[in-house]
Amino acid sequence: MKLGALTGGAETAQVTGFAIDHRKVAPGTVFGAFEGARVNGEDYIADAVRSGAVAIVARPGVAVDGAVLIADANPRERFARAAARFFAPFPATSVAITGTNGKTSCVEMTRQLWRMAGHHAASIGTLGVTTADERVTTGLTTPDIVTFLSNVAGLAREGVTHLAFEASSHGLTQYRTEGLPVAAAAFTNLSRDHLDYHGDMAAYLTAKLRLFAEVLSVDGTAVVWADDIESARVIDLARARGIALVTVGTHGETLRLVGRDPTLLGQGLTIEAEGRTHRVTLPLIGAYQAANALVSAGLVIATGGDVAQTLANLSRLQPVRGRLERAVITRTGAPVYVDYAHTPDALEAAIAALKPHAGGRLIVVFGAGGDRDQGKREAMGQVAVSQADAVIVTDDNPRTEDAAAIRRDVLKGAKGATEIGDRRGAIAAAVHDAGAEDIVLIAGKGHEQGQIVGDLVLPFDDVAVARECAA
């Protein structure tokens, strides 16, 4: 592709790639020079040019010598649009999911439902890239725009026709999942998270709404979990743009949940759709898993899926890694579950999902991450001690903060909880204390394979540790 195709000019230089890291610039690269929270990419323009960059995407007025300046007041968006033209084509059908909780489960459930319908489908999100043959490539939790688009294009070359991806508030604000046509976008819920980045809930919600205000194609469909307090904002926005709507939940009009009956290993759902009543046995426990399943079904239906067949396929869904994943059953017969819940709302939902299945106590092990929103720590402690029968406060990912100080913040709300800083020791204590009728919930890290302490990532897998302790 010639540079002129991206600038609208007559430049004949051949574009060979895109980069936002000056160390990855090669001859023919278009370099994105953006202001970041810690690093200003504009400081590396000269280095990028020396490495062979043919164009620099940056703010107007930035000095560039030896390469073409593609100036824009919003250089991240301009860079994303240009990169999308370079990397295309992409899968024919792409959908995005945003919200505080449920994004990872929804992209994976959507992928599974598409696969059951005979499509070559993939998903991208916190778990990484999951392809149609169940192959998972991790390490792409928060991909930059170049990594995202190159991977999406690679999936298309492999024959993937349907893609579901997570649209986080950070990604939407920083234009990291931009450029490809979005046929449907889903909203799961909104609760406190990432206020260390966004500042307040209003800014956090605004970041989420950008998916529906700007990213979603005008001929696309908004899929909304109608039971969340903020769902009306999304619905109003979609209607203002003239976008088609699919609403799901007990207040949903497309898929109305009229009954939910917990069973030993799942739950029975009664759903009204198209004037008919559908009864589904969902092999996943918890109200929030039912919500995730219905949002996923809504996305599939919004992109052409048959309503009856899609709902019937809910009974074949498989658990998602680290999302109420049953890690092991102890020698006394107590099941141990691992969940990614790391906000007050998510922790409450995970506890509520397991509580009806506990004949005895529900024992919760959790902590809070360092270098993140400190305001949610005490609230998480309050949720844990008010909803669970026994609570152990431990370390999560302390990062550069003092781990003991983080635990003290949590314990302000978790009066009466036990404090065991060492996460392995905390898990062992819960596993060994659990009786035959008890259930153990290990929350906070879910699928993660490491614990971040300082600048180190130490190998740590809650599921593996729980199994070792049970053995």
Q: Place 35 in a pLDDT band, splitting at 50, 70 and 90.
A: confident
Query: Is residue 102 marked as binding?
Result: yes
Give residue 13's pLDDT. 94
Structure tokens at 204: 């956090």
- Nearest Cα to Cα of residue 60 among 70, 50, 68, 51: 70
- Using CA atoms, how far residue 7 sits from 2, 33, 56, in Å, is 9, 16, 11
Give residue 227's pLDDT. 96
Question: Helix or strand or coil: residue 262?
Answer: strand
Classify each residue of 378-408 as buried b or exposed e, where b means 16 or more C-beta atoms within 10 Å of its C-beta.
Answer: bbbbbbbbebbebbbbbbbbbbebebeebbe
| The pLDDT of residue 278 is above 50 | yes
| The pLDDT of residue 272 is above 70 | yes
Query: Is residue 446 marked as binding?
Result: no
Q: Place 194 in a pLDDT band, splitting at 50, 70 and 90.
A: low
Query: Is residue 398 marked as binding?
Result: yes
Query: Is residue 326 marked as binding?
Result: no
Per-residue DSSP letter, 416: T
| The pLDDT of residue 443 is above 90 | yes
Q: What ranges do the domains of the chain cover?
A: 4-84, 88-316, 325-470
Q: Is 57 in contact with 46 (CB distance < 8 Å)?
A: no
Beta bridge partners of 200: none
Amino acid letter for position 158: E
What sign results for the dihedral spanned by CA atoms 344, 350, 353, 359?
negative
Query: Is residue 100 marked as binding?
Result: yes
Query: Is residue 386 marked as binding?
Result: no
Cα(439)–Cα(430) distance, integer angstroms: 9
Q: Is 438 in contact with 428 (CB distance < 8 Å)?
A: no
325-470 homologous superfamily: Mur ligase, C-terminal domain (3.90.190.20)
The CATH architecture that domain 4-84 belongs to is: 3-Layer(aba) Sandwich (3.40)
Query: Is residue 332 marked as binding?
Result: no
Q: Place 423 in a pLDDT band, splitting at 50, 70 and 90.
A: very high
pLDDT tens for each residue of 324-348 = 888 999 999 999 999 999 999 889 9
Give residue 396's pLDDT. 97
- Nearest Cα to Cα of residue 339 among 441, 439, 267: 441
Classify each residue of 313-337 as buried b or exposed e, where b means 16 or more C-beta atoms within 10 Å of its C-beta.
Answer: bbeebeebbbbbbebbebeeebbbb
| The pLDDT of residue 251 is above 80 | yes
The fold of the 88-316 domain, in CATH, is: UDP-N-acetylmuramoyl-L-alanine:D-glutamate ligase (3.40.1190)
Q: Which helix (H) or strand (E) holds 123?
A: strand 121-125
Percent of the chain whose pLDDT exceeds 90: 76
Q: Place 356 in a pLDDT band, splitting at 50, 70 and 90.
A: confident
Query: Is residue 99 marked as binding?
Result: yes
* DSSP per-residue string spanning 133-189: TS-EE-S-SS--HHHHHHHHHHHHHTT--EEEEE--HHHHHTT-S-SS-EEEEEE--
Verify cis geometry, omega within 30 degrees of 0, for the bond prior to 89. yes
Q: What angle do CA 189, 216, 135 make, to 5 degrees?
A: 75
Q: Place 168 in a pLDDT band, splitting at 50, 70 and 90.
A: confident
Q: 200 or 255: which carries more pLDDT confidence?
A: 255
Please count the other Cβ atoms lying within 10 Å of the Cβ belonging to residue 355: 16
| The pLDDT of residue 263 is above 80 | no
Query: Is residue 176 marked as binding?
Result: yes
Q: In the chain, what's the furthest Cα-to-Cα distance?
A: 74
Query: Is residue 268 marked as binding?
Result: no
What sign results for the dihedral spanned by CA atoms 118, 119, 125, 128?
positive
Query: Is residue 189 marked as binding?
Result: no
| The pLDDT of residue 171 is above 80 | no
Query: Is residue 105 marked as binding?
Result: yes
Structure tokens at 404: 């003991």
Percent of the chain whose pLDDT exceeds 70: 95
Give residue 140's pLDDT. 47
Mean residue pLDDT of the chain comes to 92
Q: What angle do CA 439, 443, 449 make, to 5 degrees?
A: 120
Structure tokens at 339: 């969940």
| The pLDDT of residue 191 is above 80 | no
pLDDT tens for each residue of 82-123 = 999 999 999 999 999 999 888 899 999 999 999 999 999 999
Q: Place 262 in a pLDDT band, splitting at 50, 70 and 90.
A: confident
Q: Is the entire prediction scored with pTM above 0.95?
A: no
Query: Is residue 7 marked as binding?
Result: no
| The pLDDT of residue 157 is above 80 | yes
